[in-house]
Amino acid sequence: MSHAKTKVALLFGGRSAEHEVSILSARSVWEAAPPDRFEVIPVCVARDGAFLKPSASRAVLRSRGVDTTTGDPEFDFVKWFRKEKLAIAFPLIHGTNGEDGRLQGFLEIAGIPYVGSGVTASAVGMDKALMKQAFVAAKLPIVDFVAVTETEWRDERRRVMQAVGNSLRLPYFVKPANAGSSVGVTKVRKPDDLAAAVEHALRFDEKILVERGIDARELEVAVLGNDRPSASVVGEIVPGGEFYDYSDKYIDDKSRLSIPAQIPVRVSDSIRALAVAAFRAIGASGYARVDFFLDKGTKKILVNEINTIPGFTSISMYPKLWGATEIKYPALIAELIDLGIARSRERAARYKSMMSWFDEVEKLG
């Protein structure tokens, strides 16, 4: 007896510096999702924030030359989702307006189930300053940093530069608080270069971080699950340049991935436990990739950051890590969709329970 396929809206593109990366991720998922279980329907969010119809969205994934600057103002995504009786949305929009809770909030208001973390976890995971504060509250080891707003930089530049110099030692890494894929990140080797690095990072966000640079190995762990998350094997990135930047991730592909990382078992176990702790610290759901530093001198493990919508391209670390942990790409996609549906059902049941309580209270009154 054949079962009806689960209809999934694959959301990609977006108003983000990572628009093109999102297209690459969506193309990979669209091609690999198990066709016997799912009907995956692509829906592109154009750079202007409007949706493209599924037919145009398919063309985007099939061809690299399709313009995604402007969406179709006549296409109502919510009405279409309900009319076509889709089961769930799978957001693969990296960065701002996709990974930061805004899209999740839109889906929540529309009553559309979705894959991945909710509004709060997405927002905290995207804002590196808030994320690090959550890690500190959970007593996770992190790199020393200074958070700077654009207003502070414009009004009190001298004080900010002095605070950085007093708190950190060179080299520094300067990065936007709300960005991904290493967009806007600069390595600073001397004090005179700090101002230019801050100005560059401020092109992408109104809040930036200055972090102490350390000579470290870059390790990553994929986390999968809802209330009982599990961690993949640990992978290592050996950057093609001085650090793992945007070009290294998506254009040049000069970095080398080592899966599993060549580290002692006890170190691997500690990193995997910290990955799950980081996932729980921000209240993540579904999936996330947690990045670590392993200081070459002290051998200390430091949590760098968490990504709640990690890349899903053919060269992305998240699916490769699970592939090495014996969950192949198509099965991983299926598991993520199943986790999203399960979370949606649990939340719907809780909402029903809450509303019935209000009904009971009214009857008592």
Q: What is the pLDDT of residues 116-155, one digit of tens each?
A: 999 999 999 999 999 999 999 999 999 999 999 999 999 9
| Phi, psi of 126, deg, nearest 5 | -80, -40
Between the two ends of the chain, the Cα-to-Cα distance in Å is 51
Q: Count of CB atoms within 10 A of residue 215's CB?
A: 10
Beta bridge partners of 306: 290
Beta bridge partners of 25: none
> Is residue 1 over pLDDT 80?
no
**Is 14 within 8 Å of 95 (Cβ atoms)?**
yes
Rounded CA-CA distance 346/179 in Å is 31
Nearest to 213 by CA among 171, 153, 262: 171
Q: Which domains does the chain have, with CATH numbers?
A: 6-114 (3.40.50.20), 134-139+215-327 (3.30.470.20), 144-212 (3.30.1490.20)
CB within 8 Å of 352: residues ≥ 6 apart: none
Nearest to 208 by CA among 173, 243, 181: 173
When pLDDT is averaged across residues 255-284 and rounded to a whole number, the result is: 96
When pLDDT is averaged across residues 232-242 and rounded to a whole number, the result is: 84
**Is 113 within 8 Å of 88 (Cβ atoms)?**
yes
CB within 8 Å of 34: residues ≥ 6 apart: 330, 331, 333, 334
What are the C-alpha distances in Å from 334 to residues 37, 44, 223, 341?
Answer: 8, 21, 15, 11
For 21, the enclosing helix (H) or strand (E) is helix 19-32
The pLDDT tens digits for 3-37 are 789 999 999 999 988 899 999 999 999 999 999 99
Rounded CA-CA distance 43/202 in Å is 31
> Is residue 250 over pLDDT 50?
no
What are the C-alpha distances in Å from 266 to residues 123, 232, 234, 294, 300?
Answer: 32, 15, 12, 13, 13
The pLDDT tens digits for 173-222 are 999 998 765 678 999 999 999 999 999 999 988 999 999 999 999 999 99
> Is residue 284 over pLDDT 70?
yes
> Is residue 252 over pLDDT 90?
no
**Is 204 within 8 Å of 250 (Cβ atoms)?**
no
Which of the four pLDDT bands, split at 50, 70 and 90, describes residue 240? low
The pLDDT tens digits for 51-94 are 999 999 999 999 867 889 999 999 999 999 999 999 999 999 99
When pLDDT is averaged across residues 147-170 and rounded to a whole number, the result is: 94
For 161, the enclosing helix (H) or strand (E) is helix 157-167
Which of the four pLDDT bands, split at 50, 70 and 90, describes residue 355? confident
Query: By CB neighbour count within 10 A (0-12 exposed, 13-18 middle, 19+ buried), where does 119 fall?
Result: middle
pLDDT at residue number 241:
55
Under DSSP, the state recorded for 314 is: T
pLDDT at residue number 356:
79
Rg of the chain over Cα atoms, rounded to whole angstroms, equals 21
pLDDT at residue number 349:
80
Beta bridge partners of 217: 294
When pLDDT is averaged across residues 293-320 and rounded to a whole number, the result is: 93
User: Strand, coil or helix: what is 215?
Assistant: coil
Highest mean pLDDT (candidates 183-187, 315-319, 333-337): 333-337
**Is 5 within 8 Å of 38 (Cβ atoms)?**
yes
User: Strand, coil or helix: what is 257?
Assistant: strand
